[in-house]
A and B are shown apart, each in its own frame.
Chain A
Amino acid sequence: MFIFAHRKTLGLLDGEYGSVFKGRSLDFDELRAYTPGDEVRDIDWKATARHGAPLVKRYVAVRRQTVLLVADTGRNMAALAASGECKRDIAVQVLGVLGYLAHRHGDVVGLVHGDAAGSRSVPARSGEDHLERLLQDVHRGTVLDGGPSSIEHQFDYVLRNFTRRMLLVVVADEVLPDAAMELQLRRLQARHEVLWFTVHDTELANRADADAVEVADGSGIPEAVSADPAVRAAYRQAMLEREHRRQELFRRLGIAEGGAGSSAQVLPELFALLARHRSRRRAASRGQRHAG
């Protein structure tokens, strides 16, 4: 399972490595047995016919891809996720799985994280130790008394400091991007490739054993009020509309979006997101062919 890049590299030197970005090269490496999850079009049909069982072509990846993880480590991410876990733990798991995939693929992984007070970045590097360090940074940086969350600051930081084409994976919570953030995302999407993984926030209008407190400003939500049937019905309706608007926005921007509300959901949802990303790439390339 690879993280796919949709477009060919733009740099002069990247010219001959156009396919490398897809995780392949022209240099044929070996044939190996097909395992479920492999691209069907990677199957070497002639070799398969000779061999009697599906065989897949493998290429040597000549150029490594840069994966930039963009994580919100403001105090929003120290709040509860839909499953009742801390959102930070789910985010760390998502980042870990992504980083591990990239590492296995030979890509270098960098990190930009922070809150409204400022952004911190870790330069892209390879290796499991490096990945461990990234995850530790995120895990330690996300605390309830940290700075307020503002993923816009991290986007701004990326826009200002990273001009080279990269694969951007945003791990944030259920932010509803406003017009300014939509513009940022549009610019990011033009320069890089953006995937968005949402850590779903906790359900607000339900029966719980304690009152809720908003981490941004400390205002409380009494359980007695949020459990009111009329409030719950209105909340469900509002959440449906909000989710619809979010999906609409990501669709408009061409950003693949996925999300999980619990750590158990992370793996399947992440793979589903990567599959969506890949299929979107194919749709895009088909569109390009039609245009050409």
Chain B
Amino acid sequence: MELTFWWVLPLAAAAAVLVHWLAGRRTGGTHARPVAHSERLTTLPEYRRALRRHRRWLATAVVSGFLLLAATALAAARPAERSTTQPELRNRDIVLCLDVSGSMASTDAAITGVFEKLAREFDGERIGMVMFDSRAVQLFPLTDDYDYIAGELGAARRAFDDGGDGFFSGTWGGRGSSLIGDGLAGCLRSFTESDSSLGGNGAAERSRSVILATDNYVSGAPIFTLEQAAQLAKPKNVKIHALNPGDLDYGEDRDQPGARLRAVAEGSGGSYFAPDSPEAVPAIVQQVQESEATAYRGAAQLIVSDRPEAPLLAALLAGAVFLAAGWRLER
């Protein structure tokens, strides 16, 4: 709690002192009736009682008048509450990049299930989804139509659960299967180029992340290797979060598929997870969500809000008491 116009208080105090001084000077000149033998009146108990009552009302009037002045001066000084908030930026773009080769079905189902639920709580985020096997197919582009997203994700999840081949037919027919690099490159195409080049300030820029679910087992000849695809992510500032349910690396060799995936994910600023079972996926997604959330808190904002309620309420009460006392004294 602080005062916007703190200088009102010394001004009000100075004005009060000045008025008091002027009033004191004026009453010095007013005439009072000189009387003698006032003990004729002042020794009467009735007079004493009435005088005590009178003094009580006077004191009430003085105190309430002072409170009224102080409260209105305080209100005039505009008490304000200054608080800093870090608004959570909800302008994230998430592209689900799912390898739909047979080994990944249960993980994909878990991921789509999680996002199907999350989509109902999202506000401002955009979600897109791309499936790939030998070709990348965009199931839906980045959108914030959450009902639509939920519907599409629900259909995808059922297809993953059922193994509904017709759903994935567009992902076949390329040269080979599980062309991870091409898939990732396709996923990254979901992000428009223009944002970073056109985007003026950083606050308006949307954070971008790809949730890449793959075991990184390539069979075939992709156009892009994983590393080349990851290079595409750099200028677009996309973080790649990798989920590898089948991390079957032998040893610490950096050419092992899991290790390569990890290198790519961490190289883009993302993270790498190797869940043992699909049940672990929701926790991982949650973790990614939260890390994104903390990473993309907005700049601290100063919020100054006027809080005149308490002084004005006090002024109202003091004014009411003052009027009552004044009425009683003038009667």
Closest A residue to B52 using CB positions: A225
Q: Is A242 an interface residue (CB 8 A)?
A: yes
How many B residues touch the partner, as a band?
A: 20 to 34
Q: Which residues of A have CB within 8 Å of B46?
A: 228, 230-231, 233-235
Chain A residues near B (Cβ < 8 Å): 75-80, 87, 144, 149, 173-175, 201-202, 204-205, 208, 210-216, 219-222, 224-226, 228, 230-231, 233-235, 238-239, 242
Cβ of A221 and Cβ of B30 under 8 Å apart?
Answer: no
Determine the distance from Cα of A23 to Cα of B203 in the docked complex, in whole angstroms.
121
Of the residues B34, B40, B41, B54, contact of A144 by C-beta under 8 Å:
B34
Cβ of A87 and Cβ of B36 under 8 Å apart?
Answer: yes
Cβ of B31 and Cβ of A204 under 8 Å apart?
Answer: no
Determine the distance from Cα of A225 to Cα of B41 in the docked complex, in whole angstroms.
11
Q: Which residues of A have CB within 8 Å of B31?
A: 210
Q: Which residues of A have CB within 8 Å of B50?
A: 225, 228, 230-231
Closest A residue to B42 using CB positions: A221
CB distance from B256 to the nearest CB of A (A): 101
List B residues 32-68 near A (Cβ within 8 Å): 32-38, 40-42, 44-47, 50-51, 54
Closest A residue to B44 using CB positions: A234
Closest A residue to B57 using CB positions: A224
Between-chain CB contacts (< 8 Å), 24 pairs: A75-B36, A76-B37, A77-B36, A78-B34, A79-B35, A175-B37, A201-B36, A202-B33, A202-B35, A210-B33, A211-B32, A212-B38, A213-B35, A214-B35, A214-B38, A215-B34, A216-B36, A225-B50, A225-B51, A231-B46, A234-B45, A234-B47, A235-B44, A235-B46
Q: Knowing A204-B40, A204-B41, A221-B41, say if A213 contacts B33 (CB, 8 Å).
A: yes
Cβ of A221 and Cβ of B38 under 8 Å apart?
Answer: yes
Closest A residue to B47 using CB positions: A231
Question: What are the 8 tightest A-B residue pairs by CB atom distance, in nearest-first order?
Answer: A76-B36, A234-B46, A214-B38, A204-B41, A79-B36, A213-B32, A79-B34, A212-B33
Q: Which residues of B have CB within 8 Å of A220?
A: 32
